Chain A
Amino acid sequence: MTTTLDQLPIRLAVDPDGAFPDLVRHLQNGVYSGALQLTGNRQDAEDVTQETFVRVYRALDGYNADRIRHLQLRPWVWTIALNLCRNRARSIARHPVAPLEGDRVDVLEDAATQAVDNAGLEEWRRRLSALPGPQRTAVVLHHVVGLPHAEIAESTGRSESTTRSDVRRGLARLRAVIEEEAR
């Protein structure tokens, strides 16, 4: 990738089909990582990430060049991803799936390594599930995905000060959960 994320809106405005793969390359790991924590399931995280970028592409197709040029790409993509994560969570609430146990197995990956990774992910999924939704989202977006507070605020529709509070309180709650586990 030779185009930075900041430069991509200009390229997307001129050549959306040509620049779109770079947009995916820039953001797919962050979206997947966040979706993995917010859905608790690798398959759902992959589905959400795929669908996010398909919807991004379709939305770009309907925007004029000026609107694309002024897009704040990361928070805009995350607005779409969060909506999909919420829809998926509602669907799971109606039809529960055992987290990570139901994941498809990558036959090329060492089974023991994946089992250890699954156990670690499941441990953090349980901890994060103890947080109220807005705190969990804010903590995941800030500390897993790496979004600054301003971008989280834009993605969630909450003010920046509320977002900072969500992160702070979410971390405090997580610390309490972890300390309780250690007893």
Chain B
Amino acid sequence: MTSKDATVEGLGALRRPAPDTLLETVLMRTDLADSYTEIAGPTGRAFVAWNGRGITAFVPVEAVGTRADFEMRH
């Protein structure tokens, strides 16, 4: 006979992680996902982050290091 606890345990084991891409897809659909590039600015080279709502970050390259560091922080 199956106990109530086994049924409750079975239900609890149905929990699954959302797909890895879900957050990124939602952010793209809501124009919140950032794109990144490096440009030659008036005061030197800079990393720029932007999304559908505008520029979200503008940082001189020497202030942040690598592009990977910049993308991680922004």
Q: Which residues of A contact B (CB under 8 A)?
A: 17, 20-21, 24-25, 28-33, 36-37, 46, 49-50, 53-54, 57-58, 121, 124, 139-140, 143-146, 171, 174-175, 178-179, 182
Q: Are B15 and A144 in contact (CB under 8 A)?
A: yes
Given contacts A17-B32, A175-B7, A182-B2, contact A53 B26 (CB under 8 A): yes
Which single residue of chain B is at the shortest CB-CB distance from A124?
A: B14
Q: Which residues of B contact A (CB under 8 A)?
A: 1-2, 4, 7-8, 10-12, 14-19, 22-23, 25-27, 29-30, 32, 53
A32 to B18, CA, bound (A): 5
Which single residue of chain B is at the shortest CB-CB distance from A37?
A: B14
What chain A residues lie within 8 Å of B25 (beta carbons)? 50
The residue in B1, B22, B25 that gathers the most chain A C-beta atoms within 10 A of its C-beta is B22
Q: Are A20 and B11 in contact (CB under 8 A)?
A: no
Q: Are B15 and A24 in contact (CB under 8 A)?
A: no
A17 to B55, CA, bound (A): 13
Given contacts A20-B30, A33-B16, A179-B1, contact A124 B22 (CB under 8 A): no
Other A-B pairs, 19, CB within 8 Å; known A24-B27, A33-B16:
A17-B32, A21-B27, A24-B22, A25-B23, A29-B18, A37-B14, A46-B18, A46-B22, A49-B18, A124-B10, A144-B11, A144-B12, A145-B15, A146-B15, A171-B4, A178-B2, A178-B7, A179-B2, A182-B2
